[in-house]
Structure formats: structure tokens, C-alpha cells
Amino acid sequence: MFKTICLLKRKPGMSFDDFKAYYETHHKRFGETYLPEGARFIRRYMHAVANPMTGDVPELDYDVITETFFASREEWEATMAIYAEPALAAEIAEDEEKLFDRSKITFAIVEECESDLTARDAG
């Protein structure tokens, strides 16, 4: 498995509810249309909560984390080549202008390390 994440912030002046509604009814079609069969495409919307010590509720740097799972790095590279085709790239950029603060879009490859905590010594 090969996993990427993308951190996204809504454009200034857009409400969170409008942002989520547009993403879920319009923008996600790019993933649903162009990702390979069997890929997973998850959107995790973040909601700030009050700091238990101060009560402050911060403005988050990002509103959604998208996670995309591919069968391999090669599959991811092939998909990115499709997204980079000029006509599709222009269409995506045009849609992003309606939705995101494009200066904050951040992509990353994820390397996971996991600990099995079920096997801890009881003593």
C-alpha cells in the first residue's frame, strides 16, 4: 500500500459548511473519476475544539485532510501523470479557485510506523 495526504484550507470568507458542501458535491468528483479502481479516497474534516485550559478555540491551519491509498507507488505516479495533463490540470485549478486557499495546499507521502500495544506486559 502507498498512502498520500493533502492538507487543504478553505478560501478566505467561505464558511466551513459551504466549503464541505462544495467539496462533497463537486470537487471530490476529480478523485472519484480519475483515481484507479481499488484506491481509497477519504476526506477527514477537522473541527477545532476549545483548549481545556484556556477555553480558546483556535482557527485551524487546515480544514480537511484528504487521504488517498494506492496499491503501489507506481500506481500513484501514473495517477499523478493523469492529473498533470494540461486540460485536466486547468480544470482542477479552476475548481480549486472556488474552494481552497491554494497557497496552503500541501501534499505529502505518508510513511507509517505502528506499535502493537495489545502485547504489553501486565506486570
For the segment 9-59, what is each residue's pLDDT rounded down to a tens digit? Answer: 999 999 999 999 999 999 999 999 999 999 999 999 999 999 999 999 999
Summarize the confidence of residues 46-75 as an average pLDDT. 95
Q: Which helix (H) or strand (E) holds 41?
A: strand 40-45
pLDDT band at 112 (very low <50, low <70, confident <90, very high): confident
What span, in angstroms and rounded, lies between the C-alpha atoms of 113 and 121?
Answer: 21
Calculate the CA dihedral of residues 88, 90, 96, 97 and round it to 10 degrees.
-160
Prediction pTM value: 0.84
pLDDT, the chain, mean: 94
Contacts of 108 (CB under 8 A, 6+ apart): 4, 5, 6, 7
